[in-house]
Amino acid sequence: MKKEELKRGWRIIITMIYALLAMAISLCIPLGIAFVFFGRSGMNDTVADVTNMLMGIIGAPIMIVLTKRYYQKHFLSSIETFDFGERDSIRKIGLGFLMGALMMVALFGILWLLGADIQFYGFNIGWFSILSGVSTFFGMAVVEECIFRGLLPAAFSFLGSKVAFIVPAGLFVAMHMDLWRNLEVFRIIDLFIAGILFMLIFRQTKSLVFVSAFHAANNITAMFLGIEMNGVFLKTSLNHPPLGLTADQISAICSAGISMTLIILLYFKKKPVRIA
């Protein structure tokens, strides 16, 4: 019994190390290519934009291949293949992106009802920067979903389904390094609940393609609507947030509330969601 538990413990550790290495490879190859062609004078805006662009074009496929190979070798249960050329996969990407975008539109609507000031920037913007932003959000969503909804839950499933949900969600929060510079309780809670939601979506749809598209749409739509970041066309800001809280805290609370609503709906849905 102890030998089996030790073997499972080593499997968790090895999987975590593999996930970190796979993520490093997926991030470093685009960065290296950008530096070779545009980084002769050091780090600059062009290198950053090219790296972001290549994150979706090169980094995401690399992560997909590494995840799929490791998963098929070490875990018995099946996982959705990442063949984006198949009709079903294209449909899953579309549906996942639509649902993820609608979630952020709902958050935008709630903030508007709470009196958010919405500024329109116009269309005089750098389109290459927008494309690189979209690409990096897509690429990072794939990387994060491969790790936190693919590899790690499978490794921690030996300890029970609850652990397989909670621990990867906690590690998902810890990965967002900007939190370490400014520890914000409401945002930590929001990210943790989002991690649980993404895991539940994956369990219900049995598709990393779908949940990756859902995750990417969350971030991309938030970028376009200017929620919690400088937007592309819009900037959504609460100048007079209620309850004595900050604008970021109100946004995190509203986001967590939407995620919790979706979690409850999915939890009580008895049959898996069919998207193919």
> 222-258, pLDDT tens digit by residue?
888 887 666 566 777 777 888 788 888 899 999 999 9
Q: Report pTM.
A: 0.89
Give, in order, the Cα–Cα distances in Å from 256 to each of 186, 209, 249, 250.
9, 23, 10, 10
Collapsed DSSP state (helix, strand, coil) of residue 86? coil
The tens digit of pLDDT for each residue in 47-91 reads 778 888 888 889 998 998 888 888 878 776 555 555 555 667 888
